[in-house]
Amino acid sequence: MSVDTNVNLDNGMQEVTFLKTPIMATYLLAWMIGDLEYIETYTTGDFSGEPVCCRLYAPIGLATHGQYSLDLAVKSVEYFSRLFDIPYPLPKLDLVAVPDFSPGAMENWGLITFRTHAVLLDEHSTNDRQREIAATVIHEISHQWFGNLVTMDWWSDLWLFEGFATHLAYIVVDELFPAWDVWSEFVTRVQHVLKQDALRTSHPVEVGVANPSEITQIFDEVSYMKGASVLRMLSGWLGEDQLLKGIRKFMMRYMWGNANTDDLWMTLAEECQADVPEFMRRWTRQTGYPVLTITEIDESTIMVRQSLFLSTGDIREEEDDFLWPVPLSLATAADPTPKNIMMTTKELILKVDTKGWYKFNMGQSGFYRVSYPPRALDLLGQTLKNGEETETLKTADRVGLLTDAAALVAAGVSPTSSFLTLLKYFEDEENNLVWAEISMRMQELVAVWLEQPAPVVNAIREVQRRLFKNIVKRLGWTYPEGEDPAIGNLRALAIRFAGRAADPEDTSAIPPDLLFPVFEIVIKTTTGLDEYEAIMAFYRETYSPGEKVVALTVLGYGNSPEMIQRTLAFAMSEEVRNADILSALATLRSSVMGRAELWNFMRQHWDVLYERHFDDLRFVEYFIMFSIGMFSSVEKYQEVQDFFANKDMSQCDRILANCLEGIRTRILWLERDREDVEVWLKSNGYLAPAALVEVGESESGFGGMMSTATEEDRRYGNLPFSRRTSLLHAVPGLQLSLTGTLSISTRTICTTLMSTNIIITTTTTTIMNMERTIAISTNTRNVFSMRSISNRNNRSNIRARRFTSMNLQLV
């Protein structure tokens, strides 16, 4: 509330009296004391007749960086006043940037608190940061009505107010920034909760809360994003205008009081003359969501069957008795205008021309997955590849095709190779959000396969690099004046994943959107400490909260044991605010070494960490998730179970259960598709074949024993070279140094190999038996070619690196 009186006392202190608050929930009370500065402005007062004073407070020297957020606040207050037909209910609104604030933001009535980088923006901030700040500020301001003026009856209704605040924020952002295409971005955000809600350990949107520890645990993606998603689905069914009319009636009826989920459904049913309770209760009281499996009966008929979708893919018969009312929204090549069909049965027969493409869930407004027959998915891909129907199959639809295919692959419904093949149809895609989703799915694939043999992991990364390299060539590094921010985002994304970056000495010359990809590439591609120290210095010198988070995040990509250890120590030091610690830890799990060190660190320091952060259980939950959430082996699954078996996890039992279920999902995925992925990589030229090298007797005593290599050794070329017959794997960047006089004959054992170059450095004369015998002069470096007559279209390079103590080290 605003200040009522301010009296100077004789002892030099001041007595400040504030205006009396309206009736309100106790959790919305807050006050702030500190050395702060502010900027202010006022609403027009056009709607309420009284201008509202809006201020943004920040630490000294940073308040001007809040101008963007303050302007958004004024526009949002005016927008929501008109939307709800209720003036802003307080005399003032303050936004406060708090340097060490664990939540992203908190909607205290009239005094909204934010983490500094969630509300402050400067000339170094990225386009993505602008969008994130807009969504956060508007979300919190929507709560001033929906959550504060009308408050949930009990914590089990948390989803309603968080879900609606999220949904309403997207409506306002779309109104203020139509070029941002925020509803397509919404579809990308929904993927996180679709993944979480496909676990057996998930929970319904409406979940009972029996004790305080359960309150914190339900502040998750299910409450926020599934809540917002089912409300968007409801909006699609009723129509947005009808939904908003019902919300206004609800607000008027329950303002200055409490309400629950059923109160809203009944109000909407009255206003819209529809059975809203029956429709929504299935979605909010049942855990999970359906996958629609399409079966083509003939050229004009299909059958749609709904069943519970589980990421593990091992659904039991007794689990498949759920039924949802599913709005289908179907478009076809013959009739691209979406047709709305409500599916209320387990199976549904529809007349569809299957000779052309067809797609369900147009606009991706439905909270479900769709599994198409391979031929139908191929038709959709071909349509996109040919540049057809881009006005019909919009960004959200293309994102939906990708994400559904990726999820079905992880669950074992389709082979992983089918998703990798689908990506080929998107090579000419130009939309940033689609490419962002491709990068996310490829990162997930790398993460699951990360502890597999290096050649396979490198081949998967090469798939990703090739997908993005053409974008880098097309867009370059230069940011033209007036360029669409989405193009800038795409450039930054492509440079990051193509891995083609320079190493600028002057960081001030790096465009803000390229700061993260440049830093990431530099630190990932060096084991030296100079670059690491440079980024550490950048963190210490920059005043920008957003740039500090970027630097911290990038430090987690360090690829040497020393870097990883230093990052862990630095993240937990007093130099890093508690609110920012997780930024560094999140990226440590992107490497095998980082995962191992983070897991060891957690086990060694668990008791201290838990005690220190007990009052911030969200931190503890994220720490658990980052430390164990990406494992994909039976051994690690057992380690996690054993470690936590004797720990009191009553406050974090839900996140632990989710992580274990996620590990199990990845274990099953690997078991099913390890060979499928390798076959696809080889057949598409990403995973090169091996060549058989026989080492004969020589004057220097090298033996010519037959190989005793295992089958796995032969598959990947991981063989000891001394006194053995060895398989050399064609991995770019290897170099082989031989000492002595050898007689070497080669023959290819895989017909996909056409030409392999071997660079050999010798210190004595060496005789090479290939297609002809060649003598090599002493102390020279020569390149020879091994050829396979059967295939002359595929090229690979071997450059061997080191030959030490009779061992060939492949890197």
CB 671 within 8 Å of CB 410:
no
CB 467 within 8 Å of CB 402:
no
SS3 262: helix
Alpha carbon 731 to its chain's center: 30
Whole-angstrom distance, CA of residue 690 vs CA of residue 743: 19
Q: Which residues contact 598 (CB under 8 A, 6 or more apart)?
A: 568, 585, 588, 589, 626, 627
**Number of other CB atoms surrounding residue 256 within 10 Å:** 11
Whole-angstrom distance, CA of residue 208 vs CA of residue 206: 7
Q: b/e per residue, 403-441, with b = 16+ CB within 10 A?
A: bbbbbbbbbbbbbbbbbbbbbebbeebebbbbbbbbbbb
Token pair of 22 as six digits: 């309206």
Q: Which amino acid is at 562?
A: E
**Number of other CB atoms surrounding residue 195 within 10 Å:** 19
Is 139 annotated to bind a ligand? Reply is yes
Is 613 annotated to bind a ligand? Reply is no
* Strand 326-327 to 257-259 pairing: unpaired
Whole-angstrom distance, CA of residue 395 vs CA of residue 715: 40
DSSP 8-state code for residue 3? E
Q: Which amino acid is at 169?
A: A
Rounded alpha-carbon distances, angstroms, from residue 398 to 187, 403, 472: 10, 9, 21
CB 112 within 8 Å of CB 141:
yes
Whole-angstrom distance, CA of residue 77 vs CA of residue 161: 18
Token pair of 3 as six digits: 């200040």
Q: Is 140 a catalytic residue?
A: yes
Whole-angstrom distance, CA of residue 538 vs CA of residue 409: 41
Q: Which amino acid is at 767?
A: I
Q: Which residues contact 192 (CB under 8 A, 6 or more apart)?
A: 221, 225
Whole-angstrom distance, CA of residue 56 vs CA of residue 73: 9
Cα angle value 31/36/38 (rounded, 5°): 95
CB 721 within 8 Å of CB 760:
no
Rounded alpha-carbon distances, angstroms, from residue 31 to 1, 122, 703, 744: 10, 27, 80, 80
Whole-angstrom distance, CA of residue 231 vs CA of residue 556: 37
CB 88 within 8 Å of CB 99:
no
Hey, which residues does 692 pair with through a beta bridge? 727, 747
Q: Which amino acid is at 241?
A: D
SS3 for 282-329, per residue?
HHHHCCCCEEEEEEEEECCEEEEEEEECCCCCCCCHHHCCCCCCEECC
Q: Exactly one of 78, 140, 185, 206 is catalytic; which is it? A: 140
CB 709 within 8 Å of CB 724:
yes
Return the H-helix or E-strand segment holding 633.
none
Is 162 annotated to bind a ligand? Reply is yes
User: Residues within the annotated binding site?
Assistant: 139, 143, 162
Active site amino acids: 140
Residues marked as binding for Zn(2+)? 139, 143, 162
